[in-house]
Amino acid sequence: MPLHVVILAAGQGKRMHSALPKVLHRIAGRPLLAYVMDAAMALKPERIFVVHGHGGAEVKNAFAGAPVEWVDQARQLGTGHALMQALPRIPRTATALVLNGDVPLIRAETLRKLVRSAGKGIAIATSDLSDPSGYGRVVRDAKGHVQHIVEQKDAKRAELAIREWYAGFLAGNASRLAGWLAKVANRNAQKEYYLTDVIGIAAAAGAQVSAVKATDSREVAGVNSREELAILERAYQNGQAKKLLAAGVALADLWRVDVRGELECGRDVSIDVNCVFEGKVRLGDRVRIGPNCVLKNVTIASGSEVLAFSLLEDAEVGAGCRIGPYARLRPGAALGEGVHIGNFVEVKASRIGAGSKANHLAYIGDAEVGARVNIGAGTITCNFDGASKNRTVIEDDCFIGSDATLVAPVRIAKGSYIGAGSTISRDTPPGQLTVARARQVSLPRWTPPRKKPAGEK
């Protein structure tokens, strides 16, 4: 039977108290809706419909090019009403799988089970693994058959005590669903057309209602408030941390690491507390990352060490390097083997050859630095002339004295020595000492200015 998926994503998410539509809030840097779409796509359905409404254009733009069809729900009159907008576009014989867009960590495996269990009736995903408050309770009869779902706001005392709740996913034949849905009214606490009312209507009509219980409490957690989002983020990160540990990565603390993308690690990698990894990060064997580092789209070869409080973005680091503490590698930084980049050193769009060192307080931008170069504290490549960026070339084996100012475009030839405090604005010859600073003078007949005694005018 053909499978069609409907994702409900039109709600505002009032309880988030945010201008951003709820399904665009993020877990590990990705919108909630992206996860639900992924789970849907894993099932390879014929089509995926996304019902959008609140902040519709913003939601659509965030997923430009996604292989889904957008269905507009101009007024958000409830989850049942949301599904009604999409059903006419689904063939009568198809199985419709309906997913809440704000329950991000659902696994494709659970959805497959749901579709298999639906048969000619209807299947719902439920959970009794965590606190049911806020969710719709699943009411069963004495024999254990599902009778109906009652929303928290409409539930009686005894119903509120029920542990099993609706997780926000159901599957059923499209034409039967449409028939049941047509009978849903909005006589309830929220004056909404509840999708969950379909269950009671189907059961009363004699249809089989099966419940698939989730086996992992994270996969059914809905996001309705900032607190739920924060709790789920941490649960998700903890899950990723456990995977890293299982793969042999030494994490100092399995609650204090954030991976917002892909982190690939070699053998015996160690990561201290409070590090954030974004985009694609690859760490070679024995790489050590100190506490409080942020790495975004970075590749680091084996044996390198990043010390505390360093920020690396779109950079490539060779083997055996030492970066930080307090170092910043900006986009286009490419370090060869054994390079040292120390505290308060910023490197941007520059290649730095093997064995070169800039250990303290320097700016290296738009530069080509050779091998075995020593860059003294306070050295600046003046790459910007107010209009355009210019390149600095420092060839192999140069020694750049402290506080040198290299005014680009400029070439420091192989083996040059630059005297401390020099402002270099012309190319230097190889193997010579170049000094470009005022000569030091001392004035023997100089007298210090006299301070006026107190009271004197």
List the catalytic residues: 360
Interface pick for Ca ion out of 132, 222, 324, 338 (rule CB under 5 A): 222
- Of 71-79, 327-335, 413-421, 441-449, which part binds ligand UD1 (CB under 6 A)? 71-79
CA dist., res. 400 & res. 421, Å (int): 10
CB 153, min distance to ligand UD1, A: 8
Q: How far is the CB of 32 from ligand UD1 (least distance, A)?
A: 8
Stretch that binds Ca ion, among 196-204, 214-222, 296-304, 362-370 (CB under 5 A): 214-222
Instruction: Name the residue with the smallest CB distance to ligand UD1.
Output: 136
CA angle 364, 367, 368 (to 5 degrees): 125
The residue assigned the tokens 């690396």 is 312
Please report whether residue 192 would count as binding Ca ion according to CB under 5 A.
no
Cβ at position 15, least distance to ligand UD1 in Å: 8
- If contact means CB under 5 to 8 A according to the sort of partner, which of ligand UD1, Ca ion, none does residue 318 touch? none
Q: DSSP secondary structure string, 140-187?
A: E-TTS-EEEEE-GGG--HHHHT---EEEEEEEEEHHHHHHHHTT----
**Which of 3, 102, 257, 403: binder of Ca ion (CB under 5 A)?**
102
Cβ contacts of 319 within 8 Å, gap of 6 or more: 284, 301, 302, 303, 304, 337, 338
Judged by beta carbon, residue 101 or residue 172, the one nearer Ca ion is 101
Report whether 296 contacts 313 (CB < 8 A).
yes
283 binds ligand UD1 (CB under 6 A): no
**Nearer of residues 223 and 352 to ligand UD1, judged by Cβ:** 223
- Indicate which of ligand UD1, Ca ion, none lies near residue 394 (CB less than 5 to 8 Å, by partner kind): none
CB of 48 to ligand UD1, least distance (A): 14
Report in angstroms how near the CB of residue 265 gets to ligand UD1 at its nearest: 34
Instruction: Examine residue 102 and tell whether it contacts ligand UD1 (CB under 6 A).
Output: yes
User: Any contact of residue 78 with Ca ion (CB under 5 A)?
Assistant: no
First-to-final CA distance of the chain: 102
For residue 393, give both structure tokens: 């070339």
Q: Which is nearer to Ca ion, 17 or 143 (CB)?
A: 17
Place of tokens 């580092």: 293
Report the candidate in 20, 222, 237 with the shortest Cα–Cα distance to residue 101.
222
Judged by CB under 6 A, the chain residues 214 through 273 that form the site for ligand UD1 are: 222, 224
By the rule CB under 5 A, 151 interacts with Ca ion? no
Q: Tell which residue, 268, 348, 275, 333, has the closest CA to residue 308.
A: 275
C-alpha count within 13 angstroms, C-beta hemisphere, residue 95: 23
Q: Looking at 18-26, 118-126, 218-226, 318-326, which segment touches Ca ion (CB under 5 A)?
A: 218-226
Q: Is 181 in the site for ligand UD1 (CB under 6 A)?
A: no
- Left, alpha or beta for 43 (phi > 0: left; psi -120 to 50: alpha)? alpha
Q: By rule CB under 6 A, what count of residues binds ligand UD1?
A: 29
Task: Give SS3 for 242.
Answer: helix
Q: Report the half-sphere exposure of 280 (CA within 13 A, side-chain side).
A: 3
Tokens of 227: 């607190």
Using CB under 6 A as the binding rule, whether residue 49 contacts ligand UD1 is answered as no
Rounded least distance, CB 38 to Ca ion, Å: 19
Q: Of residues 49, 180, 194, 277, which one binds ligand UD1 by CB under 6 A?
A: 194
**Rounded CA separation 255/440 (Å):** 57
Query: What is the chain's alpha carbon radius of gyration, rounded to the nearest angstrom?
Result: 32
Q: Which CB sits closer to Ca ion, 102 or 397?
A: 102
Site residues, ligand UD1 (CB under 6 A): 8-11, 51, 73, 76-79, 81-82, 100-103, 135-136, 149, 151, 165-168, 194-196, 222, 224
Site residues, Ca ion (CB under 5 A): 102, 222, 224
